[in-house]
């Protein structure tokens, strides 16, 4: 926000603060109106110059952050026992070759991922990059529709169709080569309370 500086006058501190607040409010209102108009124009012209209409965001919620760990019990000693995060549950997801633990944090969760064997994607991730953030999961209303939109816009998909992930939730992954190096998991709302 840009504010022009007025010539200095001798006034009380309270009056100066009130005047500054009024000026900031007026400038903020003008900027908000300008930004709204610009956003509407951008939406009408197409998303980020792609020629595609701007999508309506299905949600802005991060469903969870996946963290690859070598030893789930050791990781739980840190996150659950030491830091005091509640343990929402544990399960094994045979189709992905992982043991998982969910720890709620605010409006999202940490999903700790331990490989079941050396051939699982999480084991390969740890071998190549070490332990750490594996993926970010975004909650969407409809995974199939979101995949369709991403495919039409040229994004590389790992999963062409939704599948069942942890907690019985429909999920799909988008390849990090087309998402600035971040593995994105799409999670559909519903299914055992998660996301």
pTM to 2 decimal places: 0.69
User: Token pair of 147, please?
Assistant: 């995949």
What CATH number does residue 81 fall under? 3.10.180.10
**Other C-beta atoms within 10 Å of 146: how many?**
19
The residue with greater pLDDT, 189 or 191, is 189
Q: Is residue 51 part of a domain?
A: no
Q: Where are the beta strands (DSSP E) in the chain?
A: 62-69, 89-93, 98-105, 108-115, 132-140, 163-164, 170-174, 184-188
Q: Is residue 194 part of a domain?
A: no
- Asked which of 29-43, 97-111, 172-186 is least confident by mean pLDDT, the reply is 29-43
pLDDT digits (tens, 9 = 90+) for 166-180: 888 999 999 999 999
* Together in a domain, 40 and 77: no
pLDDT at 167: 85
Q: Is residue 96 part of a domain?
A: yes
> Does pLDDT of 120 surpass 80?
yes
pLDDT at 54: 54
pLDDT at 109: 96
* Dihedrals phi, psi of 61, to nearest 5 degrees: -85, 135
Q: What is the mean pLDDT of residues 110-122?
A: 96
Q: Is residue 193 part of a domain?
A: no
- Rounded distance between C-alpha atoms, residue 41 and residue 14, angstroms: 40
Q: Is residue 57 part of a domain?
A: no
pLDDT tier, 71 (very low <50, low <70, confident <90, very high otherwise): very high
Q: What percent of the chain has pLDDT over 90?
A: 63
pLDDT at 189: 82
Q: What is the mean pLDDT of residues 32-58?
A: 47
Q: Is residue 69 part of a domain?
A: yes
* Together in a domain, 138 and 183: yes
* Maximum separation of any 2 CA atoms in the chain, in Å: 74
- Segments forming the whole domain that contains residue 37: 13-46
Q: What is the mean pLDDT of residues 147-170?
A: 94
* Together in a domain, 108 and 181: yes
Q: Is residue 77 part of a domain?
A: yes
* Dihedrals phi, psi of 37, to nearest 5 degrees: -60, -40
pLDDT digits (tens, 9 = 90+) for 77-97: 999 999 999 999 999 999 899
* Together in a domain, 37 and 116: no
* Together in a domain, 184 and 155: yes
> Does pLDDT of 135 surpass 60?
yes
């Amino acid at each position: 926000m840009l504010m022009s500086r007025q010539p200095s006058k001798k006034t009380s501190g309270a009056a100066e603060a009130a005047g500054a607040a009024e000026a900031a409010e007026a400038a903020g209102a003008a900027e908000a109106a300008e930004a709204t108009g610009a956003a509407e124009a951008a939406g009408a012209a197409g998303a980020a110059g792609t020629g595609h209409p701007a999508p309506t965001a299905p949600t802005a919620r991060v469903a969870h952050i996946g963290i690859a760990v070598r030893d789930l019990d050791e990781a739980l000693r840190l996150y659950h026992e030491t830091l005091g995060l509640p343990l929402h549950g544990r399960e094994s997801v045979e189709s992905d070759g992982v043991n998982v633990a969910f720890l709620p944090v605010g409006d999202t969760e940490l999903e700790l991922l331990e490989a079941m064997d050396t051939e699982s994607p999480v084991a390969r991730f740890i071998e190549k990059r070490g332990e750490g953030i594996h993926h970010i999961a975004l909650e969407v209303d409809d995974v199939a529709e979101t995949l369709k939109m991403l495919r039409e816009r040229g994004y590389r998909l790992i999963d062409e169709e939704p599948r069942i992930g942890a907690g019985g939730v429909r999920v799909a992954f988008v390849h990090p080569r087309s998402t600035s190096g971040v593995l994105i998991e799409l999670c559909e709302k519903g299914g055992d309370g998660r996301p």
